[in-house]
Amino acid sequence: MTLQNRRVLLVIGGGIAAYKVLELIRRLRDEGARVRCVMTAAAAEFVTPLSVATLSADRVFTNLFDRNDEHDVGHIRLSREADLIVVAPATADLMAKAATGAANDLARAVLLASNKPVLMAPAMNPLMWSAAPTRRNHATLLADGVQFVGPKSGAMAEAGEAGEGRMAEPAEILAAIVEQLAPARPLSGKTFIVTSGPTHEPIDPVRYIANRSSGKQGHAIAAALAKLGAEVRLISGPVSITDPAGVTTTHVETARQMLAAVESALPADGAVFVAAVADWRVDSVAVDKIKKQPGTGTVPSLSMVENPDILATIGHHAQRPKLVVGFAAETRDVVANGEAKLRRKGADLIVANDVSAGGGAMGGDRNKVTLLSAAGAEAWPELDKLEVAERLAMVIAARLNGEPPR
């Protein structure tokens, strides 16, 4: 367990995202951490102290003037006994008071009295996050050495509201905690190439051939490898998500551009090909928009040619990385087709997943994969894509460091 006996003091702020903290506590304890929790009065409006106490297997601290705790200056003791203080959700109010040094309740007193690192996971309405006072408070806290994870972009609890302000998911917060407390970096000194997203193959100036890939899985894998110490070059097709932190990203559109970018990044220790590359393109892109001819019944004919197979090209390349990992997006016979791809394309590992309609893998946040290698097939349970990325990164690190293959 990566956090065995490490002590985390979790300060729970008052926001709807507080419900996610219950999952974070479970994950922390699964990793061996000892978790103590401080709740603000507002936090207790969203999750109960009983739930928090049950999951943390410890009492919950709520009152700065508790006669049972403060006889020995309990807020000082809480702040000093922890290895790391995590604030989640870090509301706009909590950030503001922390930035100004206010200490009018237990949560703020703990933060002000601490000599331990602090990690905050902001959560608030997008307009609150982008407001000038919040930006000033964020900058102040950064200058004071506070670390942040998130916020993320997405839909808000308020109907019709969306933007940057969602609290990072428990898996992301856990990864940030692990990076703070157990910075095992088994891929330090290693270089990786990762491809992600779709490719767009133009038909004319306004139309193209593409697929539903969001890039979420590829970007998550690039970030997971970087957190293990790797130097990562991400080659991304057109996506709407942000570039992962700590990764050098090159943006391309077509399969041929992606292959050129991959080859220019060689040599590398490893390569993970997650991108859903279009198999075909038109052999001649129209200079002008192809116009309909109403009433004639005429439908334009597209002559197609095959795109380069990036995985196979690198799998048999003169500068082939030591470890080559591919993805097999299948709608039937997932394992059989993945095993055939493993043999045919010169990969060491294939991550096979079902992308049939209704499965939610394409564009969704979760994935159910089977890891294929010469040693056999290992089916993983359905996981958040971030969790898939973390597990795969650890498998990759183990193989590159000479541990028994999986």
Q: Which residues contact 144 (CB under 8 A, 6 or more apart)?
A: 99
**353 counts as catalytic:** no
Mapped onto helix, strand or coil, the DSSP state of residue 373 is strand
Answer yes or no: is 289 a known binding residue: yes
Is 339:372 a contact under the CB 8 Å cutoff?
yes
By CB atoms closer than 10 A (0-12, 13-18, 19+), residue 225 is buried
105 is an annotated ligand-binding site residue: no
| Ligand-binding site membership of 345 (annotated) | yes
Q: Which residues are CB-contacts of 256 (< 8 A; sequence separation ≥ 6)?
A: 307, 308
Among the options 125, 137, 211, 367, which is catalytic? 211
Does 342 show up as a binding residue in the annotation? no
Residue 113's φ and ψ, nearest 5 degrees, are -90, -5
Q: Interhelix angle for 385-400 vs 216-227, to 10°?
A: 50
Mode of pairing for the β-strands spanning 231-236 and 248-251: parallel
* Nearest-angstrom CA–CA distance, 226 and 1: 20
What is the DSSP secondary structure assignment for residue 44, as one 8-state letter? G
Under 8 Å CB-to-CB from 158, ≥6 apart: which residues? 125
List the end-to-end C-alpha distance of the chain, in Å, as a whole number. 19
How would you classify the pairing of strands 201-202 and 208-209? antiparallel
Q: How would you label 367-397 residue by residue, b for 16+ Cβ within 10 Å and e otherwise?
A: bbbbbbbeeeeeebeebbbbbbbbebbbbbb
**How far apart are the C-alpha atoms of 323 and 349, rounded to whole Å?**
8
Q: In which residue are the tokens 């950030």 written? A: 95
Rounded CA separation 401/351 (Å): 20
- Check the annotation: does 84 bind a ligand: no
Instruction: Report whether 279 belongs to an annotated binding site.
Output: yes
Joined tokens for residue 275: 């991108």
Catalytic residue annotation = 211
Task: Detail the residues annotated as belonging to a binding site.
Answer: 279, 289, 308-311, 327, 341, 345
Task: Detail the residues annotated as belonging to a binding site for CTP.
Answer: 279, 289, 308-311, 327, 341, 345
